[in-house]
């Protein structure tokens, strides 16, 4: 069972990395990981997450700071002495060996008895539901099966820590979702500690106990998935995790917890106060498409504003409604595809409503694109 507060099983202490003496690709990284936790490092390409993983594995040196595993520094320990299992995107299986031989390899390196090796290999083949595949070679397996073998090989010697570097990136959507469930099942069953790297937000939200969101070498927020999604700390996190609408405006009132923001329609939107810190500042209101509702509604909401309908997109189980504010800002509302889904005329003015707790007021930020720029 993962404790509520990490106990320092794995500790990153002010870790920094630079390749050219001037630019830090990882800046002042601090993180405590509890034994048995599943922690994901999430961020766009070039944000520093994979560099952290490589420093932890011992494949990259630290520029400064320290990494401790069970209280002992491993910053200068050779990779093969760290007792860490690794799962890579490209599987890294030995093509000339059978599946059983691939699983036996880390046990032979550790000079385990032949009888133990044979039993362990069969145990872990069964564990990943490949019990009858031991005599096959990697080329005779599907991508999903090869990734199961790679996972079993990383776990078979009971490492103190398991690192996974974009392990599902080479799989198609259906296989990726199956492997997410498989890894989650094995983590729950065996209780191993995981540091997982991905740029896939859905993958991180589905599998993790906590997620550290990286941008430009700095952790923007590290929290449980629901906390990241529901109460992002800044505009970058709100933009990077899931889908969001951003409504530009000006702060016209502040309390300890709420910001009142006038948007271009003239309406004043009440929002959770995030990093909007003074009256008069320009800011952005973020509100997720599933948290916006079309009037009328059976629920009482304390935030509402008007926008012009522009388009309606059928997506099967739900419908995406597109609207525009007077300043040209576009926003989207997700509505279940049922009998209550409304029809609007082009440019029709519609009142949208939301709860204050589902809106967040942030200082302006640069949008995150799919390529990470």
Domain boundary among 164, 198, 230: 230
| Structure token digits, residue 131 | 């019990």
Helix residue ranges, H only, the chain? 49-57, 99-109, 114-127, 143-155, 173-190, 201-207, 225-230, 235-240
Q: What crossing angle do the helices spanning 99-109 and 143-155 adopt, rounded to 10°?
A: 20
Q: Are residues 158 and 263 in the same domain?
A: no
Domain boundary among 205, 230, 255: 230
CATH code, domain with 269: 2.40.50.100
Q: Are residues 350 and 292 in the same domain?
A: yes
* The pLDDT of residue 371: 46
Does residue 187 sit within a domain?
A: yes
- In the predicted model, is pLDDT for residue 17 greater than 80? yes
Taking all residues of the chain, what is their mean pLDDT, rounded to a whole number?
89
Does residue 367 sit within a domain?
A: no
Q: Are residues 248 and 183 in the same domain?
A: no
Q: Are residues 73 and 29 in the same domain?
A: yes
| Structure token digits, residue 354 | 């939301």
Q: Are residues 332 and 191 in the same domain?
A: no
Binned at pLDDT 50, 70 and 90, residue 298 comes out as low
Does residue 370 sit within a domain?
A: no
pLDDT tens for residues 137-187? 999 998 888 888 999 999 999 999 999 998 888 788 888 888 888 889 889
Does residue 237 sit within a domain?
A: no
Does residue 235 sit within a domain?
A: no
Q: Are residues 250 and 337 in the same domain?
A: yes
Does residue 368 sit within a domain?
A: no
On whether the CB atoms of residues 171 and 91 are closer than 8 A, the answer is no
| Order of strands across the sheet that contains 24-33 | 24-33, 10-18, 64-69, 72-73
Q: Are residues 200 and 288 in the same domain?
A: no
pLDDT tens for residues 83-108? 999 988 777 889 999 999 999 999 99
Q: Phi, psi (5° rounding) for residue 19?
A: -100, -15
C-alpha distances (whole Å) from 360 to each of 121, 238, 263, 269, 277 are: 51, 9, 13, 10, 12
Length of the chain: 373
Domain of 155, in residue numbers: 10-230
Give mean pLDDT, residues 298-319: 85
Number of H helices, E strands in the chain: 8, 20
C-alpha distances (whole Å) from 112 to each of 83, 86, 256 are: 15, 20, 61
Q: Is 160 buried (19+), middle (13-18) or exposed (0-12) by CB count in 10 A?
A: middle
What's the CA gap between 43 and 199, in Å, rounded?
5
- In the predicted model, is pLDDT for residue 368 greater than 60? no
Give the count of domains, the chain: 2
pLDDT tens for residues 179-215? 888 889 889 989 999 999 998 888 999 899 999 999 9
Considering only CA atoms, give the Rg of the chain: 24
Does residue 173 sit within a domain?
A: yes
C-alpha distances (whole Å) from 194 to each of 32, 72, 113, 210, 310 are: 13, 18, 27, 11, 45
Domain boundary among 230, 253, 288: 230
- Summarize the chain as % helix, strand, coil (round to 5): 25, 35, 40
| Structure token digits, residue 368 | 């995150």
- In the predicted model, is pLDDT for residue 21 greater than 80? no
The full DSSP string for 320-348 is EEEEE-TTS-EEEEEEESSTT-----TT-
Q: Are residues 46 and 112 in the same domain?
A: yes
Q: Are residues 196 and 344 in the same domain?
A: no
* The pLDDT of residue 367: 57
- In the predicted model, is pLDDT for residue 14 greater than 90? yes
- In the predicted model, is pLDDT for residue 278 greater than 80? yes
CA neighbor of 372 nearest in space, from 200, 170, 165, 168: 200
- In the predicted model, is pLDDT for residue 134 greater than 50? yes
On whether the CB atoms of residues 161 and 83 are closer than 8 A, the answer is yes
Q: Are residues 274 and 309 in the same domain?
A: yes
Does residue 265 sit within a domain?
A: yes
Q: Are residues 115 and 50 in the same domain?
A: yes
CATH code, domain with 134: 3.40.50.300
Q: Are residues 323 and 218 in the same domain?
A: no
């Amino acid at each position: 069972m993962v404790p509520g507060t990490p106990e320092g099983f794995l500790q990153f202490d002010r870790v920094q990395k630079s390749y050219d003496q001037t630019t830090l690709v990882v800046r002042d990284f601090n993180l405590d990981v509890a034994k048995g936790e599943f922690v994901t490092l999430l961020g766009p390409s070039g944000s520093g997450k994979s560099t952290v993983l490589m420093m932890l594995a011992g494949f990259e040196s630290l520029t400064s700071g320290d990494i401790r595993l069970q209280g002992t520094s491993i910053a200068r320990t050779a990779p093969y002495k760290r007792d860490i299992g690794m799962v890579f995107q490209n599987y890294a299986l030995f093509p000339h060996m059978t599946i059983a031989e691939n699983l036996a390899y880390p046990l032979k390196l550790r000079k385990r008895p032949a009888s133990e090796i044979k039993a362990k290999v069969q145990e872990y083949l069964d564990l990943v539901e490949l019990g009858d595949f031991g005599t096959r070679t990697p080329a005779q397996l599907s991508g999903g099966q090869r990734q199961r073998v790679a996972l079993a090989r990383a776990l078979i010697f009971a490492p103190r820590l398991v690192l996974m570097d974009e392990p599902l990136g080479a799989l198609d959507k259906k296989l990726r979702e199956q492997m997410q469930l498989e890894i989650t099942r094995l983590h729950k069953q065996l209780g191993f500690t995981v540091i997982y790297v991905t740029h896939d937000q859905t993958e991180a939200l589905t599998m993790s106990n906590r997620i550290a969101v990286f941008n430009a070498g700095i952790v923007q927020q590290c929290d449980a998935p629901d906390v990241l999604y529901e109460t992002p700390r800044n505009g970058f996190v709100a933009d990077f995790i899931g889908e969001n609408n951003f409504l530009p405006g000006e702060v016209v009132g502040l309390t300890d917890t709420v910001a009142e923001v006038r948007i271009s329609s003239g309406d004043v939107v009440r929002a959770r106060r995030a990093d909007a810190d003074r009256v008069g500042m320009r800011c952005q209101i973020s509100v997720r498409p599933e948290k916006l509702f079309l009037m009328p509604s059976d629920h009482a909401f304390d935030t509402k504003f008007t926008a012009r309908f522009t388009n309606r997109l059928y997506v099967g189980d739900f419908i995406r409604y597109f609207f525009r504010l007077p300043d040209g800002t576009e926003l989207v509302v997700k509505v279940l595809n049922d009998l209550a889904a409304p029809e609007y005329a082009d440019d029709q003015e519609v009142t949208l409503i939301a709860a204050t707790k589902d809106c967040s007021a942030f200082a302006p930020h640069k949008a995150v694109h799919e390529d990470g720029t």
